[in-house]
Structure 1
Amino acid sequence: MAIAVGSVLAVALFVPYVARQYRRRGELGIGNAVLAVSGLVYSLALVAYVLLPLPQVGPDFCAVHGTSGPQWTPFGFLADMREEAVGTGIAATLRNPALTQVLLNVGLFVPLGMFVRYMFRRGVLATTAIGVGVSLLIETTQGTGIWFLYPCAYRLFDVDDLIANGAGALLGALAAPVLRAVPGQRLDADPGQPRPVTRARRLLAAVCDLLSHQLTGALVAAFANVCLLAAHGELVSGTRGPAELPGYAAVNAVAPFVSWFLLAVVVPLVGQAPSLGQRVVLLRATTSDGQVPGPGQRLLRSLFGVGGYVLLSQLGSMETVLPALGLLSVFSFFFGLTSLVVLLTTAGRRGLSYALTGLRMVDSRVVDRAAVLS
């Protein structure tokens, strides 16, 4: 569950994360991105550990799922170990279920200690305190039946879990320097210093553009569906879903084009960068003599780039309305493939859209510095 939800959130947060990294570090840093995604999935795993699986509530819920109450005795697991001991020796002790549970609770919070200390620059004591605080929140959530959403607690509040989780956070804080070994974190230059316009950076801008179109289209469609429900009085009654209402097909057919207009037309016209993705990775278009291109040139660059590809794809998806539009899907595929090949092979990483419009792409920090010096 954590991996599935984390993957969705990673996609949704990818563009703002890249923008933040470029403004904070001057570049993306693959190692930092790997650690960020790992931390996100781990955080979701903790939430899943607290909440899932959710039992169904029935008349005998407390009789079936209810606990005997909180366990307040520190190191009470030692008595449990004596009761559950089978055999003697180190191997038998390590197989003891009571000890296994404690060790797993220690291990569960080792990543938290590592992430908090390394990624948020906290000291060992502060990291351990945060680990204990998170553990207390988890135990309280479990001990109150998810804050009284359930008629009784179906998981045990155990003070030994607080001790084990705190110990895990402490061990993680001490082991945090190990995360320095993850490659792709070192900065090669000051964040404000311009970087080369590489093919990888151009591709990253294109990925940000494509994701922005998808996510903005989904948000526009969601907003349109809410408006549709409100117009038919279904927000309160909830007797029908959006798909059951008249106008649903038209609203959801128009929503992607509204998103396309905002990103492929409005964004190039109101700023110096021809696309949102290029703004995210601090790229900017200039004319051959280094001047800022006019709105018309920026708009054409957008239409010859991701904006044109998205438009062709969206029109091609409407072949159910007009079968002839299906040919545009094929054309969009070859248009995208040609753009990729030209990007990888042209000098200066200009790509198809820049070659057709006669523009150049530079790091926006070059333009900003030139403006300050002038």
Structure 2
Amino acid sequence: MSSRLMPAVIAVILGTALAVALFVPYVARQYRRRGKLGVGHAGLAFASLVYGFGLLAYVLLPFPTVTPGFCADASGPQLVPLNFLRDMQREATGTGMSAVLGNPALTQVLLNVALFVPLGMFVRHLFGRGVLTTALIGLGTSLLIELTQGTGIWFLYPCPYRLFDVDDLLMNGLGALAGALAAPALRAVPGQREVGEPGAPRPVNRRRRLLASLCDLMIYHFSAALLSAFCTVAVYAAHTGLFSADARLAPDLPGYQTAQVVGIVAPWVVLYLVLPLVGGASSLGQRAVRLRVVGDGRRPGAGARLARGLLGTGGYVLLQQLGQVPGLPDAAGYATLLGLVSVIGIVTTARRRGVSCALTRLHVIDAREPLTEPAPTPPTSTVTQ
């Protein structure tokens, strides 16, 4: 892989990983701030993450190898403003506009401006900052990058492997300013328009119900991955030490298999047994998209709350994990079947009730709708004869 392509690939991989990790919090924030999830806004937010990692990758990578003569060619900082004009004169190879535009020094300057244009656009459009504030943020970001380069990544290297250049600082700031001025163009991206007040109830549609299920699955798998990693590290530390060469033998360590089981089972118990009993029938994914599961005018009973979770995402996750147990391969097929039935139920049932709610006699409403209490039963009068 070429040195120019590698930073872009790294940026896409890391940006995607961070987007997955932040997906549920982002969805929850959008539903509370905007009333819904805008596809266009989500796309721009994802692009900003990839751009941020790309910016870091292009200014820091590739990391050099420290050799005995590593610092022999290291140069000091360039602190003369507009020194690139002298560089242009020195590297000029002809006359006319084509020679000027092809000058390597000018090309470097234009790249430094263009590199920070997206930063200015994203900061102003996504975070609502003014033009001056956005330009200052761009200038501060550039200063941080230049200091990182000028200190050899904050003294991790014995000397800088890239030059601190005040012209880069000025051109990056100019690029951020240009991006801030061009930011209104991002309004043309579809899927960003806000309709109605964020606090007003919205219809319970297919996309919203499916998004809630996706959030539930992501919450479980992310929690299980984190807990499994923590338990594995604990096993390493207890038996071999974190940096021991024997750590590669982790599957053979006492307690390793138990740690993996705990990492898988504990999140399921919390999400699909404890929370339904303590926190109500609505799952965390449903709460993220501001949905509420209710009974006929009253809070669902404990049995209905548990059954709803086990017939929905909780049952799917349980069967999926059981399918990985030796001797229970058919469970994975049942998980797929339950998943298909659940999706079809969301798409076809009235008011997107879904199979699990229909079987437990529950309903899904917008969390911003006021709850209707059942009418009180009139007291029975006793007639004395």
TM-score (norm 2): 0.90
Which secondary structure state, in structure 2, belongs to the residue aligned with residue 86 of structure 1?
coil
Gaps of 5+ in 2: 1-9, 374-385
How far off its partner does 1:92 sit? 2.1
Question: Are 2:282 and 2:291, in contact at CA under 8 Å, matched by a contact in 1?
Answer: no
Which secondary structure state, in structure 2, belongs to the residue aligned with residue 70 of structure 1?
coil
Identify the match of residue 282 of structure 1 among 257, 279, 290: 290
Residue type at the aligned position of 1:256: I
How far off its partner does 1:249 sit? 2.5
Give 2:35's aligned residue. Answer: 26
> Is 1:267–2:267 an aligned residue pair?
no
Cα distance in 1 for residues equivalent to 2:277 and 2:39 = 32
Give 1:85's aligned residue. Answer: 92
Within a 5 Å distance, the mapping from 1:6-45 to structure 2 comes to 6-45=15-54
Identity %, equivalent residues: 59
Identify the match of residue 179 of structure 1 among 152, 166, 186: 186
Give 1:351's aligned residue. Answer: 354
Question: Are 2:135 and 2:176, in contact at CA under 8 Å, matched by a contact in 1?
Answer: yes
How far off its partner does 1:244 sit? 4.7
Identify the match of residue 330 of structure 2 among 327, 332, 342: 327
Which secondary structure state, in structure 2, belongs to the residue aligned with residue 285 of structure 1?
strand
Which secondary structure state, in structure 1, belongs to the residue aligned with residue 329 of structure 2?
helix
Question: Are 1:142 and 1:157, in contact at CA under 8 Å, matched by a contact in 2?
Answer: yes
How far off its partner does 1:236 sit? 6.8
Within a 5 Å distance, the mapping from 1:32-181 to structure 2 comes to 32-63=41-72, 66-181=73-188
How far off its partner does 1:233 sit? 5.5
Question: Are 1:274 and 1:299, in contact at CA under 8 Å, matched by a contact in 2?
Answer: no
Alpha carbons of 1:236 and 1:4: their partners in 2 closer, same or farther (altered >3 Å)?
A: closer
Question: Are 2:138 and 2:173, in contact at CA under 8 Å, matched by a contact in 1?
Answer: yes
Identify the match of residue 205 of structure 2 among 160, 175, 198: 198
How far off its partner does 1:109 sit? 0.5
Identify the match of residue 363 of structure 2 among 357, 360, 364: 360
Which secondary structure state, in structure 2, belongs to the residue aligned with residue 189 of structure 1?
coil
Question: Are 1:69 and 1:156, in contact at CA under 8 Å, matched by a contact in 2?
Answer: yes
Identify the match of residue 247 of structure 1 among 243, 255, 280: 255
How far off its partner does 1:112 sit? 0.8
Cα distance in 2 for residues equivalent to 1:269 and 1:54 = 52
1:317-351, Cα deviation, whole Å (9 max, x unpaired): 113xx2xx001111111111121112111221111
Question: Are 2:281 and 2:306, in contact at CA under 8 Å, matched by a contact in 1?
Answer: no
Which secondary structure state, in structure 2, belongs to the residue aligned with residue 234 of structure 1?
coil
Cα distance in 2 for residues equivalent to 1:69 and 1:231 = 47
Question: Are 2:281 and 2:300, in contact at CA under 8 Å, matched by a contact in 1?
Answer: no
Cα distance in 1 for residues equivalent to 2:244 and 2:224 = 27
TM-score (norm 1): 0.93
Identify the match of residue 222 of structure 2 among 211, 215, 228: 215
Which structure has the larger Rg over C-alpha atoms?
A: 2
1:73-122, Cα deviation, whole Å (9 max, x unpaired): 11111111122222222222212111111001000000111111222222
Question: Are 2:291 and 2:365, in contact at CA under 8 Å, matched by a contact in 1?
Answer: yes
Question: Are 1:273 and 1:279, in contact at CA under 8 Å, matched by a contact in 2?
Answer: no
Give 1:316's aligned residue. Answer: 323
Cα distance in 2 for residues equivalent to 1:185 and 1:252 = 42
Question: Are 1:274 and 1:301, in contact at CA under 8 Å, matched by a contact in 2?
Answer: no
Gaps of 5+ in 1: none
Residue type at the aligned position of 1:23: R
Of 39-48 and 199-208, deviating more is: 39-48
Cα distance in 2 for residues equivalent to 1:230 and 1:74 = 52
